[in-house]
Structure 1
Amino acid sequence: MTHLEDLAQRTDRDLLAAHCAGDADAFGELFKRHKDRMWAVAVRTCRDPELAADAVQDGFISAFRRADSFRGDAQVTTWLHRIIVNACLDRLRRVKPTSELPEYELADRRDEHSSTVVRLDVQEALGKIPEAQRLALTLVDMQGMSVAEAAEVLEVAEGTIKSRCARGRAALAELLVDKHGEGYVR
């Protein structure tokens, strides 16, 4: 078995420990495993692919440099989520408000028109709710994290995540009902 094949078999914790011990390839394996998920978190948090790309780069550089700060009381993915979300928030704070036209994704030919409209409407509505609620909903409802994991990533109490999600869902429902009527929200 080659060194890279051995790395592919290791747990995230083992890879982080190997990186801290000087293994030049260990962090590359961690990056390879988690880059897509961290990209998705960044895009949903920043709502701008360019900002998200910069935030993912900043976040992984920060994780690379501060790997020895990992305490081990959470999963490595939770630790990475926190770093990426912080990098996104840093990038968002630095951006000056502009009045750009909203970006819409081109519909996939296989998508039905209605599912594309729903996705765009939800994206638009997410942009109108408070950032704290949007982040909680993104982590719990879109990324599939547990309430406990999301609380750890955002460094707030579990009850705070629950209330932010509840308020965010209610706000989304209200925005969607206002736009489309009662039968729209299922």
Structure 2
Amino acid sequence: MLFRRIALLVLVSLSASACGGGGGSSTQTASAPTTVAEALKAADQSGAYPQLNRDTSVAGPDANNNGVRDDIDAYIASLPDSAPQKAALTQASASVTRAMTTDTTDQNALADAMRQIANASACLHARYDSSTASSKNTDMEKLTVNTKERFIAYEAFSAAASGHSFVLPQGDGCAN
């Protein structure tokens, strides 16, 4: 469902921007993308969004082994946010990656992944105001879960975690 919403959002925003205003030449050849693949390619080429890794692996490339794909690391580094805020964003993306790669049949691993997500959310709320923290959390989830394979893995984690409870972290939940 999340993947479809993201794809629809990309298609709608690109379609709206492709319409443009008047005053242009009637010989314009640009047309709105007709497939999700075309919309994603157009979004990457526009420079309006970070260019995201879309390979078929769930975790994706992570040269520094911090649990965050290299493309998301680069995106976070490019933001004007403070160093502690960037650390919270990194923790949030890493927690989603951990969830996607968790063995959902291992109850201890499942509980640990849920705890990491709770800590990351608490950390974001400690380092940003509430509405910004929620928005940043959603952004990290969207950027991290950006392919069908990643969506399926995250959905499997969500289904396995459904009905489980966990304790909220003491303190701010921040790893760094």
Under TM normalisation by the shorter chain, which class is it? Answer: under 0.3
Bigger helix share: 1
TM-score (norm 2): 0.28
Q: Give the number of the structure with larger relative contact order, counting CA–CA contacts within 8 Å between residues 6 or more apart.
A: 2
